Homo-oligomer: A and B are copies of this chain.
Amino acid sequence: MSQLQRIAIAPSQLQQGQILLTKEQQHYLVRVLRLRDGDRFIAMDGKGKWWLSQLATEQAQVLQPLTVETELHVSITLMVALPKGNAFDEVVRTCTELGVACIAPVLSDRTLLNPSPQKLERWRRIAAEAAEQSERAFVPTILEPVAFNTALSTVNSHQSSVNSQQYICEGRGNFPHLRYCLQNKGQESIVIATGPEGGWTETEIENAIAAGFQPVSLGRRILRAVTAPVVALTLISANFEV
């Protein structure tokens, strides 16, 4: 079943058991994927629902809803200082594969560049593609980049209402390994922050601690800014995998 081709649809396209396909989707199914009338594929709404569907010219017939079991039972938000150049593309792609729910790019004291608005569109497209390819039910949300302190206060007001844990990764300093800090006692939400090239400043770490974040290490070797989020996501996903 999971070997079938998958396409993302908007929930509004599903009406009375039929999927009204856009011209682009018709082109993709028929010209690119070479499906014919009667062939099956999976329609996913990016919000947790998959449907086994059958192509019928300009629309598709929904055969049955599918149960997707590729999602974690915890919502992981990655707060990540924007790295140089295009390196963030790969962070978005890989962390989507690893089950992230929300990516919050932040501008830290040592971040060099403020990205253009086109970047945000690009990251969202990459997240949607990676969600399809890794067979996820959800497409992660990518927030607009904001200053690190702004992100801290937003998280702080939001997370206090749910069963949540917040961590900030720091390569230097003698902090406990994330592995020993993760619990698995019905957490609904985890926020993990990883820093820029050169690391967080001392003030940033202090502000994060004041906002309820626990400082943690990802091991004794110094990781690049693009490696740290992948390592953090891997450890959290594995901890909560059912």
Contacts and interface: CB of A to CB of B under 8 A. Distances in A.
Interface of A: 2, 69-70, 94, 97-99, 133-136, 172, 177-179, 219-224, 227, 230-231, 234-235, 237-239, 241
Contact of A241 (B69, B219, B238): B219
Given A133-B222, A135-B221, A231-B234, 4 more contacts: A99-B221, A134-B223, A134-B224, A179-B241
A3 to B, nearest CB: 9
A98 B231 contact: yes
B177 A238 contact: yes
A230 B177 CA distance: 18
Contacts of A69: 220
Chain A interface, DSSP helix/strand/loop, else mixed:
loop
A148 to B, nearest CB: 23
Contact of A224 (B97, B177, B235): B97
A98 B219 CA distance: 8
Given A230-B230, A230-B234, A234-B230, A97 B241 contact: no
How many subunits of this chain does the assembly comprise?
2
> Which A-B residue pairs are the 7 nearest by beta carbons?
A234-B234, A134-B221, A179-B238, A70-B220, A231-B234, A134-B222, A135-B222
26 contacts: A2-B172, A69-B220, A70-B220, A70-B221, A94-B227, A97-B222, A97-B223, A97-B224, A97-B227, A98-B219, A98-B223, A99-B219, A99-B221, A134-B221, A134-B222, A134-B223, A134-B224, A136-B221, A177-B241, A178-B238, A179-B239, A179-B241, A230-B231, A234-B234, A234-B235, A235-B238
A36 B70 CA distance: 57
Nearest to A99: B221
Contacts of A227: 94, 97-98, 230
Contacts of A219: 98-99, 237-238, 241
